[in-house]
Amino acid sequence: MRISIFFLAILLCATSPVFAFGSGSDGCGAGECRDCHSLDVKEATDILGKTGLDKIDKVEFSEMPGLFVVDVEKDGQKFPVFIDFSKQYIVSGNIIRLSDGHNITQDRVVRKPKKPTYADPSRIPLDDALLLGSADAKIKVIVFTDPECPFCSKLHEEIKQVTEQNSDIAYLIKMMPLAMHKNAYPIAKNIVCDRDMKLLELSFASIGNKEQLRALAARPSLCTTDAVDQTLAVAGELGIRSTPTLVYPSGLVDSGYKKAEQLAEIARTEAGTAK
């Protein structure tokens, strides 16, 4: 059976001096395998020249035996690739240390900062929004949520905490049921019809219980409304595709879950920059 160059290199370094590179007592057999292997930025650039990378930053021996780790850049992102000692193979992906499950690849990843996105809050109709917090709060943040979304449920608990601790911050909650959640649309319509925060929280509490969610979705419609459809249309026009998503007074669009302290801090910062 043919043995790849990569594994042959490892075997040659690991066995007796008879198979060592060089002669006498100065070859690999006299020390570590890495003693007889080298790679610099120039050579790495030549090797990786056809891969379309923008820049080679640094070359080191990898923690994983038999590999060099090469820090590279592409489209503003920095991440490592691995070249084996034979310089015939490139490995790109996560390398996990088995002793503790630590991802040594991710230690070297530097992600490009996400560019903030903005939307005009005045374009978002609020007649159907649920109010969480005081109507007199000076800072009002719009929240697009889905009654069947686990991260929306987690965020809801955090924004409740924000309003309990900060009387000047309130949230206007808009129903944005995603197509991937089969029960969310009918539940969302009834929440809007009845202006029922308890129904929203009951739906959040039922996430993971399919029978309970189906029962909530099967409730007779409490009214005839196109408010949910309008919300979905406006969200699409504003480029809002996921839940939970918050729109701050400045127009900053911020998606995903955050803790209460951070949410309050962003709300105050963005209220100060609102036009």
Q: Which residues contact 117 (CB under 8 A, 6 or more apart)?
A: 239, 252, 253
Q: Would you state the structure tokens that stand for residue 147, as one six-digit string? A: 């009654």
Angle separating helix axes 260-272 and 150-165, nearest 10 degrees: 70
Closest CA to 44 of 90, 109, 106: 90
Calculate the alpha carbon distances from 77 to 113, 179, 254 in Å: 9, 32, 21
pLDDT tens digits for 133-171? 999 999 999 999 999 999 999 999 999 999 999 999 999
d(C-alpha 168, C-alpha 260), whole Å = 14
Lowest-confidence region among 27-41, 98-112, 118-132, 223-237: 27-41
State mean pLDDT over 49-72: 89
CATH 3.40.30.10-classified regions of the chain: 117-272
For residue 68, list its beta bridge partners.
Answer: 61, 83
User: Is pTM beyond 0.85 here?
Assistant: no
pLDDT in tens, 257-271: 999 999 999 999 999
CA distance 98 to 84: 20
- The secondary element (H helix, E strand) that includes residue 6 is helix 5-14
Give buried/exposed letters for 4-14 (b at 16+ CB in 10 A, else e).
eebeebbebbe
The answer to whether 245 touches 264, Cβ cutoff 8 Å, is no
CATH 3.40.50.2020 fits 117-272, yes or no: no
- Six-digit token pair at 258? 């955050």
φ, ψ at 57 (rounded to 5°) = -90, -45
Q: How far apart are CA 169 and CA 137, in angstroms?
A: 5
Question: What percentage of residues in the chain have a pLDDT greater than 70?
Answer: 87
Looking at the DSSP bridge assignments, the partners of residue 40 are none
What CA–CA distance (Å, rounded) separates 72 from 108?
10
Average pLDDT of the chain is 87
The structure tokens 């249309």 sit at 233
pLDDT tens digits, 76-135: 788 999 999 999 999 888 999 999 889 988 888 887 777 899 999 999 999 999 999 999
Tell me the DSSP string of 149-194.
Answer: -HHHHHHHHHHHHHHHH-TTEEEEEEE---TT-TTHHHHHHHHHHH
**Which segments of the chain belong to CATH 3.10.450?**
39-113
User: Of residues 155 and 55, which shows the higher confidence score?
Assistant: 155
CATH number, span 39-113: 3.10.450
